[in-house]
Structure 1
């Protein structure tokens, strides 16, 4: 069985957090919208498939990069002047980082990782 982890993230300015590619970038209004978008990006291959279709040789992209976790959970809430995000998933940090970067670029910071 694959281990599950809680990834605790912080986003200083969610209102302006966007990925570098508008076709992949999150375009929501608040923490709830962001949590839903990230959860979908972890549970389904939709975001990965959009990215893969943009590649010069889509068929040569390693399918393992599109791994999903149908049980992934994301919660986000405003705390002080930033947004705190709790991600529960069996996906490795490398894939979580990939999806976060597509959605909001480098606007996030990993605060902690703990086994679920």
Structure 2
């Protein structure tokens, strides 16, 4: 069952993960939404991150969950960006991907059935 996650990037310029190899590259709402959508639809970001770990084979394969039908939309509001992600990916995996992409510079404001 798809879940809708309501996310906010209060300061989009700071919404970058700790490692530039995995962090958001886009600047605007549409670009950030597209990057997150790609991170949910494919395991490419997960695989790059997994291979950078000391023991890639020890990484929990459940973190590589994908949802080819995931959608993410973004809207710019003054100085912050709101994202709405609709996906079947578990919340813990979504949060792990967001930490890679945006670091700690994001908030989850609501969750609802889609």
Structure 1 gaps, min length 5: none
- CA RMSD for the aligned pairs? 0.9
Give TM-score scaled by structure 2 length.
Answer: 0.96
Inter-partner Cα distance in structure 2 for 1:31 and 1:112: 18
Q: Give the 4+ runs in structure 1 shifted more than 3 A.
A: none
- Whether the aligned pair in 2 keeps the contact of 1:9 and 1:86 (CA below 8 Å) is yes
Q: 1:9 aligns with which of 7, 13, 32?
A: 7
- Whether the aligned pair in 2 keeps the contact of 1:74 and 1:88 (CA below 8 Å) is yes
User: SS state of the match for residue 85, structure 1?
Assistant: strand
Q: Counterpart in 2 of 1:82?
A: 80
User: SS state of the match for residue 14, structure 1?
Assistant: coil
User: 1:16: Cα distance to partner?
Assistant: 2.3
User: SS state of the match for residue 75, structure 1?
Assistant: strand
Q: 1:111 aligns with which of 78, 103, 109?
A: 109
Give TM-score scaled by structure 1 length.
Answer: 0.94
User: SS state of the match for residue 49, structure 2?
Assistant: helix
Structure 2 gaps, min length 5: none
Q: What is the aligned length?
A: 114
**Is residue 101 from structure 1 mapped to residue 99 from structure 2 by the alignment?**
yes
Q: 1:39 aligns with which of 37, 40, 51?
A: 37
Inter-partner Cα distance in structure 2 for 1:16 and 1:60: 31
Q: Counterpart in 1 of 2:26?
A: 28
